[in-house]
Structure 1
Amino acid sequence: MTITQSNRWPWLVALLLCGWLLYQLTPILSPFLVGILLAYLGDPLVDRLERWKLSRTWGVVAVFTLFSLLLVLLILVLVPMLGKQLMHLYQLTPLALDWLQLEALPWMQMQFGLEEDFWRFDRVKQAITDNLGSTTDVVGLILSQATASGLALLAWLGNLLLVPVVGFYLLRDWDLIMAKLRKLLPRRREAMVVGLMRECHEVIGAFLRGQLLVMLALAVVYASGLMLIGLQLGLLIGVLAGLASIVPYMGFVVGIGAAIVAVLFQSGIDLYLLLGVAAVFTVGQLLEGMLLTPLLVGDRIGLHPVAVIFAVLAGGQLFGFTGVLLALPVAAVIMVLLRHVHDLYKLSDLYAPAEPPSQP
């Protein structure tokens, strides 16, 4: 039975109703989306363990054990070190304002002919200095905020505990769920829909698995190199540069800029540290361009860097953290669909060349 003009409206109403329902359920969707992400990332590993004659359930247990060990290592080792460097960065903020007020801003005033009281950074510095002593007790601050919003904390902890439960069951039944969804497809359109989903899977898988591994590797390279040359904020800047590498070349620009500023505040114009920073980021770019991206990502993504930035910002603006999680997969699906729409357009009569005028 084909969908005619008369029975098309119920499908449209149902689609709009589903969209409205999802929008209303946005506050509780985050643990389920994170669980789906964990299941999607872990499915290839479980499939490989199944090929090694391990049952699906035990393969899921092994993968979740690996994820749990990585998370515990992150919490016990990396988070305290990052916390110390964040506190150190916060304590350096008045010194940065001093440099801006006494050196950078007078130079800009001379160059651009600005008035002497054009900048008011002395008030900002005073406010930060006054609050610096009250923020040293981070645990007390967190506990006071948690006491003030106990219900919100309980809801957040509940969502956090839901993530491994949802991820475990989805990963265990992933192949079964995919098979049932395929059986629901219209028989005459199954091949076309499966082909589109395969392309979307290649794009999303290449980005989520490949690009995340590239980001992790670059964060390790940058942080290790900067800490090795003696930069005090090396770990923080390296992690920041690795996260910014979700957009090509942004990690390099953000990281080397932040590292140069950190060198200037740490020891002035130190040629050794500046050359070390340049060497670390040069090695990182060479590894990314010649080894990491071709090996882990390849040329299957097709997402323009501007499209990545716009998708993340738009998703966060519309749906908050849930929108950020959905932004890149949705952008990848839209990109695949637009590619096919472009091919259909070039085959249509609208794109056909104009016919030559007929001779009288």
Structure 2
Amino acid sequence: MTDTRHWLWIAALFLLGALLWAIHPILSPFLIGILLAYMGDPIADQLERWKLSRTWAVIVVFSVFTLILVIALLVLVPMLGKQLVRLYELAPQMIDWAQNSALPWVQAKLGLGEGFWKFDKIKAAVTEHLGQTTDIVGTVLASAGASSLALLGWLGNVVLIPVVSFYLLRDWDIMIAKLRGLLPRSREGFIVQLLGECHEVLGAFLRGQLLVMLGLGIIYSAGLMLVGLELGLLIGIIAGLASIVPYMGFVIGFGAAITAGFFQFGTEFYPLLGIAAVFTVGQLLEGMLLTPLLVGDRIGLHPVAVIFAIMVGGQLFGFTGILLALPVAAVIMVVLRHAHDFYKQSDIYDDGQAVETVEVVEVVPVTPTE
């Protein structure tokens, strides 16, 4: 009977996986809604402790989120759009600079042969595409018009996200209590402990690491714009987003910023020094203030595991897989930790046949006394 029950559980898991695979194209708004509700639940709980009803607490949380989104749309998006257009226009010049200045210098230093770098075809393709239109918005709208059904589906998902988030956040505690009531009584304590550890890891990562990413994005963007880097906002945001993996944001952001700095300022010392100072200050603040304060040492997700999980999720399920990657990785990490503990306590690891040690007693000769 026990074996049959185990096989039923395995079959149920396979059926669940097949169902998720079949419906994953429509899961994105629901997963984003679950993510927003999960992140907003502690704030709503705190407002409830301040004598607000659950509905009004959710309304306050949504009002704050909406205000932040509106500010981002009104201030950040137009500035970012201008920089994207500027990058689009500068692409041929940057290829020229790389081909005629930067790469020959690298070629001379490394002793590479003539004609090693060939960017003529890339430059021709970019220039031809740039000549077709300078209106990126028009291009996007034309592409969207060619697929009206896809555009309507995308708009429907955007509208669906706040609706799903609102109802999930309002009923979050009720749903958690009902799910707990469905757990097997004999295993409830262990399952609750396991899910509590998953919640600690995942909550620390999502709430803490996302705040670290936001802080670093603001630091890098503001610093690079103060230095005068033309693409400072774009590079700073990319560096902040890449900071989901420790040190990746610094590597990508500094590499892109110093390259853009050489292109814009040439070999002028002080602007390049300013770029290096911005990323140095950002790393110091991340290591000494942001990460200890917002994340702590509770994550336990190795940077390589984060990269691998995101790549696997994206490869298998696309954007939906990227949303699922980190929660699944956190659960797998906690399960593996318990499996390791079970293995160390099992008969497979210690079968009771301990190696007997023979104590060697050194014989000291006794000198006879007279």
Length-normalised TM-score, structure 1: 0.95
Shift of 1:61: 0.6
Is 2:85–2:136's contact at 8 Å kept on the other side of the alignment?
A: no
Is 2:211–2:294's contact at 8 Å kept on the other side of the alignment?
A: yes
What 5-or-longer segments of structure 2 have no aligned partner? 359-370
The number of residues matched between the two structures is 357
Which residue matches 1:266? 264
Q: Which amino acid aligns with 1:179?
A: A
Q: Does 1:356 align with 2:358?
A: no
Q: Distance in 1 between matches of 2:230 and 2:213?
A: 22
Which residue matches 1:38? 36
Which residue matches 2:342? 344
After TM superposition, the structure 1 stretch with the greater mean CA deviation from structure 2, 206-215 or 271-280, is 271-280
Q: Distance in 2 between matches of 1:293 and 1:100?
A: 36
Kindly provide the CA deviation profile for residues 253-287 of structure 1, in whole angstroms up to 9, marking residues without a partner as x. 11111111111111101211111112111111111
SS at match of 2:70: helix
Shift of 1:40: 0.1
Which residue matches 2:203? 205
Q: Distance in 2 between matches of 1:317 and 1:358?
A: 53
Which residue matches 2:25? 27
Q: Does 1:5 align with 2:3?
A: yes
Which residue matches 2:249? 251
Which residue matches 2:322? 324
Q: Distance in 1 between matches of 2:192 and 2:203?
A: 16
Counterparts in 2 of 1:7 and 1:347: CA distance versus 1, 3 Å: closer
Largest Rg, 1 or 2: 2
299, 302, 314: which one aligns with 2:300: 302
SS at match of 1:349: coil
Shift of 1:59: 0.6
Which residue matches 2:227? 229
Which residue matches 1:191? 189
After TM superposition, the structure 1 stretch with the greater mean CA deviation from structure 2, 228-237 or 320-329, is 228-237
Shift of 1:119: 3.7
Counterparts in 2 of 1:308 and 1:274: CA distance versus 1, 3 Å: same
Shift of 1:322: 0.4
Q: How does 1:131-150 map to 2 (within 5 A)?
A: 131-150=129-148
After TM superposition, the structure 1 stretch with the greater mean CA deviation from structure 2, 162-171 or 340-349, is 340-349
Which residue matches 1:241? 239
Which residue matches 2:368? none
What 5-or-longer segments of structure 1 have no aligned partner? none
Q: Which amino acid aligns with 1:82?
A: L
RMSD (Å), alpha carbons:
1.8
Shift of 1:114: 5.3
Shift of 1:120: 3.0
Which residue matches 2:56? 58
Q: Distance in 2 between matches of 1:265 and 1:53?
A: 57
Q: How does 1:51-130 map to 2 (within 5 A)?
A: 51-107=49-105, 109-110=107-108, 116-130=114-128
Q: Distance in 2 between matches of 1:298 and 1:151?
A: 45
Shift of 1:50: 0.3
Which residue matches 2:361? none
Q: Does 1:156 align with 2:157?
A: no
Shift of 1:136: 1.5
Is 1:263–1:270's contact at 8 Å kept on the other side of the alignment?
A: no
Q: Distance in 1 between matches of 2:28 and 2:278?
A: 37
After TM superposition, the structure 1 stretch with the greater mean CA deviation from structure 2, 20-29 or 80-89, is 80-89
Which residue matches 2:364? none
Q: Distance in 2 between matches of 1:206 and 1:63?
A: 20
Shift of 1:107: 4.3
Counterparts in 2 of 1:98 and 1:179: CA distance versus 1, 3 Å: same
Q: Distance in 1 between matches of 2:89 and 2:50?
A: 53
Q: Which amino acid aligns with 2:52?
A: L
Q: Distance in 2 between matches of 1:108 and 1:218?
A: 31
Shift of 1:355: 2.3
SS at match of 1:332: helix
Q: Distance in 2 between matches of 1:228 and 1:358?
A: 70
Q: Distance in 2 between matches of 1:209 and 1:259?
A: 28
Is 1:94–1:129's contact at 8 Å kept on the other side of the alignment?
A: yes
Is 2:235–2:253's contact at 8 Å kept on the other side of the alignment?
A: yes
Kindly provide the CA deviation profile for residues 292-313 of structure 1, in whole angstroms up to 9, marking residues without a partner as x. 1111000000000000000001
Q: Distance in 2 between matches of 1:161 and 1:34?
A: 12
Q: Distance in 1 between matches of 2:112 and 2:272?
A: 32
Shift of 1:349: 1.9
Shift of 1:22: 1.1
Shift of 1:354: 4.7
Q: Distance in 2 between matches of 1:13 and 1:338?
A: 21
Counterparts in 2 of 1:106 and 1:257: CA distance versus 1, 3 Å: closer
Kindly provide the CA deviation profile for residues 133-192 of structure 1, in whole angstroms up to 9, marking residues without a partner as x. 333112221221111100011111111111001000000000000000000001111110
Counterparts in 2 of 1:172 and 1:5: CA distance versus 1, 3 Å: same
Counterparts in 2 of 1:81 and 1:33: CA distance versus 1, 3 Å: same
Counterparts in 2 of 1:225 and 1:110: CA distance versus 1, 3 Å: closer
Kindly provide the CA deviation profile for residues 79-137 of structure 1, in whole angstroms up to 9, marking residues without a partner as x. 11111111212222212221232234444555666554444311211221122133311
Q: Distance in 1 between matches of 2:165 and 2:23?
A: 19
285, 288, 292: which one aligns with 2:286: 288
Q: Distance in 2 between matches of 1:253 and 1:109?
A: 23
Q: Distance in 1 between matches of 2:203 and 2:5?
A: 37
Length-normalised TM-score, structure 2: 0.92
